[in-house]
Amino acid sequence: MAASALRRTLGRTLAMAAKEVQHIRRDLRTLYLALAMPVLMLVLFGFGISFDVDHLELAVVDQDRSTASRELVRHFTAAQEFTVVQEGTSPEEALAALRRGQAVAVLVVPQGFSRDVARGGAQLQLLVDGADGNTASQALAKAQALVEVASRRLGPAGLSPRAPPLEVRVRTLFNPTGRSALFLVPGLASYLLAMVAVLITALTVAREWERGSMEQLFATPVGRVEIVVGKLLPYLAIGLLQVLLVLTVGAWVFGVPVRGNLGTLGLGALLFLIGMLGQGLLISVVTRNQVVATQVATMTSLLPSLLLSGFIFPIENLPLPLRLLSTLIPARYFVDTLRGVLLRGNGFAELWPQLVALTLFAALMLAVAMGRFRRRLD
């Protein structure tokens, strides 16, 4: 008896899923929204959003005009980190270029530089435009690295008066070249998947409420659990295909590696998609209107996934109330999962807290959505 009831329930659920697949096949906009848009936005955002800065405009004030000073300037431009846009002997002219925004930094080589190099006590001055904090910090870091390289070539004692008592050797793990794409693409993938998963269910189900097709379902023996699960299954399959497409484009176009356990990544993606699809379904059940559903989805999922997930801004730098609020954002845990698996080589042992959080969110969204989905018309 129980087996017969289970078969009937499964049959009705699969029938609902087949019905939803037919709707998706007839609506090319849904397929575009689900498959093409995440890939297109990943490519656009991946190339458009970058924290890497090169070819920084540099004004040079060479008051020494010696072989050593010219060799130093050559080191600054050889790696194409800096581009000399103005040369002169007056610091005032270079500062004017800095104020006009024509240069990001000014390198001042004082008179007697070559003599001080031979003695091992040379000094330089670097003036940086701090209006853009990210550019200024990168200019300082690049200039320091270039000076250290040049100091080993300009003289036996270099540019430092004496050798430091301690030698620090830095080894950068997981992203040794510091490419911003490796940091941004996992966050972008999480944001795009959240956006599409919520919108696609919120809009399609809300459209059925508006057109009255939901009333026809109420006249059938299909239960609410069968309706909810049947509607979510096709979009869950599309979501998993989205994950594969986004990861493939990320690896092919941006060189994002996959160092960790793919099973852990697949489980995290499955739980994240279930939670976001459930949230979209809940929004459609509550609003029953496409315009309102779009607005609610933007306020409750898109903006939090962008601002409170650690995608761009470190969560540790947020004020305490926002840090507490971010614990309710599933994209936060999925971003950690993606970066852990793709960049750090993590597996289930390191990422189980994130997976537990995603499981709790998915269960909560499905439970609330099914609780609010009633077979009656208000």
Residues 215 and 336 in one domain: yes
Residues 341 and 208 in one domain: yes
Residues 90 and 33 in one domain: no
- Does residue 232 lie in a domain region? yes
Report whether pLDDT(329) > 60. Answer: yes
Residues 219 and 122 in one domain: no
User: Of residues 372 and 338, which shows the higher confidence score?
Assistant: 338
Residues 67 and 34 in one domain: no
- Does residue 120 lie in a domain region? yes
Residues 42 and 83 in one domain: no
Q: Give the closest residue to 276 by CA, choosing from 232, 222, 214.
A: 232
- Does residue 168 lie in a domain region? no
**What CA–CA distance (Å, rounded) separates 13 from 124?**
74
**Most confidently predicted of 122-131, 206-215, 352-361:** 352-361
User: Of residues 3 and 367, which shows the higher confidence score?
Assistant: 367
Beginning with the edge strand found earlier in the chain, give each strand of the sheet holding 125-128 in spatial order: 82-88, 56-62, 105-109, 125-128
pLDDT score of 315: 87
Instruction: Give the pLDDT confidence of 96-147 residue by residue, as tens digits.
Output: 777 777 888 888 888 887 787 777 677 788 888 877 666 777 777 777 777 7
Number of domains in the chain: 2
Containing domain of residue 70, as a range?
56-154
Residues 24 and 70 in one domain: no
- Does residue 9 lie in a domain region? no
Instruction: Give the pLDDT confidence of 39-75 residue by residue, as tens digits.
Output: 888 888 877 776 767 778 888 888 888 888 888 888 7
**Most confidently predicted of 42-51, 65-74, 85-94, 368-377:** 65-74
Segment 353-366 shows an average pLDDT of 95
Q: What share of the chain has pLDDT > 70, as a percent?
A: 87
pLDDT score of 152: 67
pLDDT score of 94: 75
DSSP assigned state of 62:
E
DSSP assigned state of 158:
T
H and E: helices and strands count for the chain: 16, 4
**Most confidently predicted of 1-5, 85-89, 301-305:** 301-305
Q: What share of the chain has pLDDT > 90, as a percent?
A: 21
Instruction: Give the pLDDT confidence of 150-175 residue by residue, as tens digits.
Output: 776 665 544 544 444 444 455 566 77
Residues 203 and 265 in one domain: yes
With vertex at residue 163, the alpha carbon angle to CA 159 and CA 166, rounded to the nearest 5 degrees, is 130
